[in-house]
Amino acid sequence: MTHATQKAPSAKRQWAEGLMVFAAVTLMIVGVLDIFRGIMGIAEDDIFVTTQQYVFKFDLTGWGWIHLALGAVAVIVSLGLFQGAVWARWGGVAIASLVIIANFLSLPYYPVWSVVMIAFSGFVIWGLCVARPNEPAEL
């Protein structure tokens, strides 16, 4: 096929590809931020608030390891999204969901960061669920 006979991608296809890039970049940011949060928790940084009567009370170092692991997996999955891997779409939704749950459960320890991470992860889920990059192009 020559350059003159190639059809430009449809607006719907471009929108889907843009959402996938958005989700990949956002998941990468979520992962890196969660890695930093994990390191802070493991180091038992004094920036975290401690609460006495929290139902989901957990050792701060334990939360640190959870966030570090989730962040590392999120970065790996985001690299898969950049490659267009199908497994990465499902993995992205799964890891973003787990990040939301972990940040909700650790909300009292660092509330502002938790809310920001929940919002970022929600955008990742939205971007991955709305985008349909594998649909056939319109002719």
Domain assignment present for 49:
yes
For residue 57, the model assigns a pLDDT of 62
Domain assignment present for 4:
no
Tell me phi and psi for residue 58, to 5 degrees. -145, 150
Domain assignment present for 15:
no
For the chain, what is the radius of gyration of the CA atoms? 18
- Cα→Cα distances 43→63, 81, 96, 129, 134, Å: 11, 31, 24, 36, 43
Domain assignment present for 20:
no
Q: For residue range 87-104, list pLDDT tens digits in order.
A: 999 999 999 999 999 889
**Is this structure's pTM higher than 0.85?**
no
The domain total for the chain is: 1
Q: For residue range 25-61, list pLDDT tens digits in order.
A: 999 999 999 999 889 888 876 555 555 665 556 677 8
Domain assignment present for 1:
no
Domain assignment present for 95:
yes
Domain assignment present for 16:
no
Domain assignment present for 125:
yes
DSSP code of 96? Answer: H
Q: 78 lies in which domain range?
A: 30-130
